[in-house]
Structure 1
Amino acid sequence: MKQSEAYTLSIGVLAVVDTWLTGTVFPVPVWVTFIAWASFFVLGGGTAGFVKSVASNLTGLAISSLTLLAIATTSNTAIAIAICVGIGSAAMVQASKIKLLDVLPAIVWGFASTVGTTVATGKAITTAGLSNPALVAAAALITGAAFGFVSEVIGNALTLKREARLN
């Protein structure tokens, strides 16, 4: 099978699994798993892409969590929130100077996924326990990267290699 068809099948089937799992037994935002899944491929795939994606996404998550904590301790005015977000954004750029984290959008995806999860769940970043939006987003980001890795492995396994056709 050609690579595009192999990946179509692999990703399509695994998207069904991901959506079903996140809608039933593993309640994390499916859109965050898809963001991390895409991040895996953007960062080159394979083991290196997995590590780089998870590290970048979780760095964004950490910076976002600190930003949300800072916002929670301010006067909650528009300017205070804007300043906190500006500092968080600057921190993401500085973090991207590190070789492992040198694709800034992957850090931003982790940041945005955490903020989005906070809004979607209606839970504050200070929420204790497993329903903490940062923990929920972290689980979704890692899950998405894992789906990316598995979809690549299956897609590659289904791809008919040129050498195999010649034999």
Structure 2
Amino acid sequence: MKKPEAYTLSIGLLAVLDTWLTATVLPVPVWVTFIAWASFFVLGAGRAGFVKSVASNLSGTAISALTLLAIATIGQQAIVVAILVGVGSAAMVQASKIKLLDVLPAIVWGFASTVGTTVATGKPITTMGADNPALIAALALVTGAVFGFVSEKLGDALTWERSPRLG
């Protein structure tokens, strides 16, 4: 099967599994797993893409968690939130100077996924334990990267090209 069809089948089947898994067994936002899955492919796929994607996404999660903690500590007035988000955004840009994290959008996806998970769960960043939205987002981001890696390997395994006819 040609590569586009093989990847269509691989990603389609694994999307079913991911959606079912996050709806039943692993209570993380499926949209975050899909963001991380896409991040894996954007960052070059393979083992290197997996490492770079996870590192970048989790860096964004860490910066987001620190930003949200600062907001919870200092105050939630609009100007305070705006300034702290600006500081967090600047931190993401600085983090992207590190070779492993040099694709800024992948850091932003982790940041945004963490903020979104915080809003979606209704749990503050100060929540202790497994319900902490940063932990939930981090687990979803790693899960998405794993799905990206597996979908690539399965897609490659299903790929074959016809040999041109000789003579």
Normalized against structure 2, the TM-score is what? 0.97
Q: 1:85: which partner in 2?
A: 85
Give aligned-pair identity as a percent. 79
Q: CA deviation at 1:75?
A: 2.6
Which runs of no fewer than 5 residues in structure 2 stay unpaired? none
Q: CA deviation at 1:166?
A: 5.5
After superposition, the C-alpha distances for 1:34-72 in whole angstroms (9 at most, x for unaligned) are 000000000000000000000000000000000000000
Matched, 1:57 2:57: yes
How many Å separate the matches in 2 of 1:140 and 1:161?
A: 35
Q: CA deviation at 1:76?
A: 1.4
After superposition, the C-alpha distances for 1:87-111 in whole angstroms (9 at most, x for unaligned) are 0000000000000000000000000
Matched, 1:140 2:140: yes
Tell me the matched-pair count. Answer: 165
Q: 1:40: which partner in 2?
A: 40
Normalized against structure 1, the TM-score is what? 0.97
How many Å separate the matches in 2 of 1:24 and 1:115?
A: 23
Q: 2:151: which partner in 1?
A: 151
- Root mean square deviation of aligned Cα: 1.0
How many Å separate the matches in 2 of 1:161 and 1:91?
A: 46
Q: CA deviation at 1:74?
A: 1.6
Q: 2:130: which partner in 1?
A: 130
Which runs of no fewer than 5 residues in structure 1 stay unpaired? none
How many Å separate the matches in 1 of 2:161 and 2:147?
A: 23
